[in-house]
Amino acid sequence: MIQRPFLIVETGQPVPAMRRYGRFPHWIRVAAGLAEHEAVVSNVEQGQALPDSDAFAGVIVTGSAAMVTDRADWSERSAQWLRQAAHQQVPLLGICYGHQLLAHALGGEVDYNPAGRESGTVHIDLHPPAAEDPLFAQMPLRFAAHATHVQTVVRAPEGATVLARSVQDACHAFRWGDRAWGVQFHPEFATHHMRGYVRARADHLRSEGRCARTIARDVTAAPLARKLLRRFIRHARGLSGR
């Protein structure tokens, strides 16, 4: 039986200094263990239309420097598509901007994080419901992950289960229904991605009274967070095979 590919919804580009490593869909595809023929990319930020979600085993939405609160036309169209896909029980995973966009699509609220910018390797703390979650089950109660964002999900969608938090962000992961997830952290980031983002945001961090050099020095590997991408792929394929 031929397996259906995964759709990667591209919502933005890496900071210029990191583009030598490719675009976000490439980072995600590699971290997820997908071959090139197993992934289809739709660059919605550049106006590409989203295809029929039924053609895919699952959908992953990338991060972006855009802000969900700007309500850009391409973003709102993507939110409408995600809302429909979620209700059609398509397996979905939103990352950073994708996490926020999925929350917005399902009726949650996104805004600037009252705790300020989160940047670097952070500690993710799981809530008790994560123990029964298909992606987070058997994960340690605390693990390292990479994060870089100023907006956040300030209110999860109605009926969603908040699965994780950090010191600065009360909703680092949620599940809506049994096939849609959002994670604020970046499971696709390796240490060089994270350090590159800290350096790129050094002026912003300095203006907020933080030291980019210290944050970059404290970046460590986050293998458990990275495993979530492969867990999503396996889970989605298992669902599509039923």
Contact of 216 with 198, CB cutoff 8 Å: yes
Q: Please measure the distance between the N-terminal and C-terminal CA atoms of the chain and give it in whole angstroms.
A: 12
Q: Respond yes or no: is residue 158 known to be catalytic.
A: no
- Find the DSSP H helices in 88-190: 97-105
Query: Which among 149, 172, 186, 193 is annotated as catalytic?
Result: 186
The residues with which 119 forms a beta bridge, in sequence order, are 148
Query: Which among 10, 96, 172, 193 is annotated as catalytic?
Result: 96
What phi and psi, each to the nearest 5 degrees, are found at residue 92? -130, 145
Contact of 120 with 147, CB cutoff 8 Å: yes
CA distance 213 to 230: 31
CA distance 229 to 236: 11
Q: Respond yes or no: is residue 188 known to be catalytic.
A: yes
Contact of 78 with 42, CB cutoff 8 Å: no
The residues with which 165 forms a beta bridge, in sequence order, are 125
Q: Respond yes or no: is residue 96 known to be catalytic.
A: yes
Query: Which among 10, 118, 188, 235 is annotated as catalytic?
Result: 188
- Catalytic residue numbers? 96, 186, 188
